[in-house]
Amino acid sequence: MSAPVTVAITRTVVPGHREEMLAWIRAGSALASRFDGFLGHGWVRPAADSQEWHMLYRFADEASLAAWEASPQRAWWLGAAQGLVGEARVERRTGIEGWFDRPVTTDVQDLRPAPPAPPRWKQMGVIFLVFFPLSLAVNWLGKEYLSDWLLPVRVLVSVLVMTPVMTYLALPWMTRRLEWWLHGEPPPWRRVSPVDR
């Protein structure tokens, strides 16, 4: 199971082409949103007159991101900006820094605004729900099987086991299950479909 992946891209735009850039953004966002695993997007500019545009998009896992990145739709979209847009930097984020944040949109009024990141106390609650049982299990196993080892070695082994399990499995799994709570939405079993209204 792969964790969600956030891709951050800094693009430079030829001066005086703001409207073309906005149209290009809309087209790319509409195309990406049709792909399985698409979780959201956003655009940020440091200032109204900046030639730098920072793009964020997020997919549920590496496979769905790879499907978008290898698609003919994305190739067409990138080709449509030849001579207008340059790519300055690309960064992929998985793990703890991408668990709770949602991309934020500014300067593009017609894109769907994303809710803010959940409160820290909710983030702490989700981490506790994962860390406590995992820590309990690893410490119990360590006592059973590593009791003769020196304490620093036992702690090192437990950290080496828990860190990847939390980062790539347990915390992404728990975050997906509690996303409704993190972002103040009704639980899945209480949501009313448009048909039932």
CATH number for position 17: 3.30.70.100
Beta bridge partners of 54: 10, 44
Residues recorded for the chain: 197
More confident residue, 16 or 128: 128
Segment 5-29 shows an average pLDDT of 85
Residue 57, domain extent: 5-98
Q: Which residues pair with 59 in a beta bridge?
A: 5, 38
- Determine phi and psi for 110, rounding to 5 degrees: -95, 0
Q: pLDDT grade, residue 132 (50/70/90)? A: very high
Same domain, 85 and 126: no
Mean pLDDT over all residues of the chain? 79
Alpha helices in 70-194 (DSSP H): 72-79, 120-145, 151-164, 171-177, 179-182
User: Taking the CB of residue 61, how many other CB atoms lie within 10 A of it?
Assistant: 17
pLDDT band at 173 (very low <50, low <70, confident <90, very high): confident
- Which of these, 63, 70, 65, lies nearest to 1 by C-alpha position? 63
Number of domains into which the chain is organized: 2
The whole-number average pLDDT for the span 133-148 is: 89
pTM above 0.85, yes or no: no
User: In this predicted structure, what is the pLDDT of residue 116?
Assistant: 60
pLDDT at 102 over 50: no
